[in-house]
Amino acid sequence: MNNVQYNFLYENEKMFELLKEELRKIEKRLVEEPKNQCWRRVYIRSMFSMIESECYRFKQEALFFCDSFSPGEVSLLEEKDYILNNKGEIEVRPTRLKLEYNLKFAFKALARAFDVNFELNLGDEGWLSFKNALMIRHHITHPKKIKNLNISLGNMDTVLKAFSWFDQSHISLFEAIENSMKKSKIKKATKKREKVR
């Protein structure tokens, strides 16, 4: 791994830590002012910002650690779209991906990069909460009516369940990767010992 690659991965990890710390600070403000609509909206926006950032990081790390992705997969991992302009030249544009699809793809890509058998749990209340929280986020990001800006306690409960589901999924994936890496090291060490004998 060269310095540029290391710095890129390090920067992505630091960005995640910074966004997660920001979320913790907002949570503290929500505890102090539980009825404050502004802090509720800020929390939701920050939470999804962190999740989107982490999806991007997963995909960049998948690209870094694995070279067996198809050209189409690489395009989506890089979040690039290729089109022809009116001069017949290729233009690169950022791809717009729906977060719920991008999240599934990012988890699958990172699991594949580390050859880990991992499936997101999409059959429980957490995934449903995530999809509902995403709708709440859309309402406050693109409000059509003033009522779209009102975040009820029920909405906040949904958002918190969604974050808990994401956080647990994140932890489970990295535990699977860590366990796989430990097993891989043990296998390599065993093979080395066998060669010495």
In a domain, 197, yes or no: no
For residue 84, what are the β-bridge partners? 90
Rounded average pLDDT over 97-102 = 96
pLDDT tens digits for range 155-179: 999 999 999 999 999 999 999 998 8
Domain of 104, in residue numbers: 3-66+98-192
Number of domains in the chain: 1
DSSP, collapsed to helix, strand or coil, labels residue 90 as: strand
In a domain, 86, yes or no: no
Mean pLDDT score across all residues of the chain: 89
Question: How large is the C-alpha radius of gyration of the chain?
Answer: 20
In a domain, 79, yes or no: no
In a domain, 106, yes or no: yes
In a domain, 78, yes or no: no
The whole model's pTM is what?
A: 0.86
pLDDT score for 149? 94
In a domain, 89, yes or no: no
